[in-house]
Amino acid sequence: MIMRVMGEGQFEVGEDHLNLLNQLDDELLTAVESGDEENFRQAYGKLLDAVMRYGSRLPDDALEPSDLILPNSEATISEVRALLLSEGEGVIPGFPEYE
């Protein structure tokens, strides 16, 4: 799965890390629903860190379509809430076989 983090680039994340990303996505959803800014910052930071840590960065000149686009680390809780609502459940597309 190719994920773009705005301002950071594209990262190819292997299937072996999707369970972790889905868990972090659930934490993010809970934090956003609570409206707690501090919990949101921690949860979103952990998700972005995991994408960049476990993903292989693609070259800047790569023209691969992204499966997912995440706002940068400065995104507000409102911006991420809008993304969550547009995606349905969480920001990471569902992969039932990995849950």
Supply the pLDDT for residue 68: 85
Q: Structure pTM?
A: 0.83
Range of the domain at 23: 2-98
Tell me: the pLDDT tens digits for 5-58? 999 999 999 989 988 999 998 899 899 989 999 999 999 999 999 999 999 999
Please give the Cα distance from 35 to 85 (Å, whole number): 14
Our count of domains for the chain comes to 1
In the predicted structure, residue 93 carries a pLDDT above the cut 80: no
Count Cβ atoms within 10 A of the Cβ of residue 93 and give its class: 0-12 exposed, 13-18 middle, 19 or more buried.
middle
